[in-house]
Amino acid sequence: MKILVADDNVLSQRIMQRMLRQLGYEVITASNGREAADILADADGPRLALVDWMMPELDGPGVCREVRNRHEGSYVYLMLLTAKQTSEDVVNGLKAGADDYLTKPCHPAELEARLHTGRRVLQLEDKLVEAREEMRYKATHDGLTSLWDRSAILALLRSELCRSRRTHAPVSVLLCDVDNFKQINDVHGHPVGDEVLQEVSARLMHSVRAHDAVGRYGGEEFLVVLSGCGNHDVRERAEQVRRSIGDPPILTAHGPLFVSVSLGAITIENWDKSMPIEPYLKQADMALYRAKAGGRNMVMYAESLVEV
């Protein structure tokens, strides 16, 4: 694990560096407070730091304050090294953002124990961040397909329309429905139906650009948001999506299945933020219905709305 030693005294820095390397740490050094603060601000910087109280340019408490004033990045465990031992000094150091302190010269065993405590704190912080991100992911993603869920994909569509209003770029929407999905469930069972939905989701994701968005709209329906895609491009893009689902067959527990999708497409231009998105989605749904009625495995296009 990387650790920063910030000390303007060369001899003290080398002694500490030797002790830490014996404990298995990768040691990074700084000779003044400003350099230490800059190193700790780096995204790949150390998350453990031993910072001397008295340093040029920026003292130890000043380094602590700068690190704590940052609103991004992982938590950094800061330990002040000081010859100061009064309660007032210790309180001031902790108020500045230090997690702990060691008086100089420090005993190697005490140093090891204090750093072990710091590592436990960082591990706990990592677990909390992981749990928070997992909760956030589950709150916005569909459990079966790992795509955005209905609420999230609609929120992304609204966000993209707001951005398109600023950039004067069109946005196209594809509403996709797996053909004869009820028959797949009835004949092969729901587990196979789940396999089909998962593979269709994966193929949808691979058929769009990184900055496009795909969500599970409900059941066997999917919503694809194509940013910066106008009337001319959406036809080619929609056909690419359709073809990507139909070939090759989907391998399931009951053998390969040929699956197709029907699509309804609409391009939204010059969107007015006072206009709801539901009428556009209804137009896409009507286009999808025509694709279903026309024989499935095809794309039908709706015209952009002029009036709502």
C-alpha torsion sign, points 132, 137, 139, 144:
negative
Identity of residue 29: T
What residues have CB less than 8 Å from 41, skipping those under 6 apart?
66, 67, 70, 73
- Half-sphere exposure (Cβ direction) of 162: Cα atoms closer than 13 Å: 7
- Tell me if residue 220 is catalytic: yes
Which pair of structure tokens corresponds to residue 178? 């797996």
Write down the residue that tokens 């928070």 correspond to. Answer: 132
Among 35, 195, 199, 220, the active-site one is 220
Write down the residue that tokens 């694809």 correspond to. Answer: 224
Question: Closest Cα partner for 213 from 270, 151, 274?
Answer: 151
Q: Are 228 and 170 within 8 A, CB to CB?
A: yes
What residues have CB less than 8 Å from 77, skipping those under 6 apart?
47, 48, 49, 99, 100, 118, 119, 121, 122
DSSP code string of 17-39: HHHHHHTT-EEEEESSHHHHHHH
Q: Which residues are catalytic?
A: 220
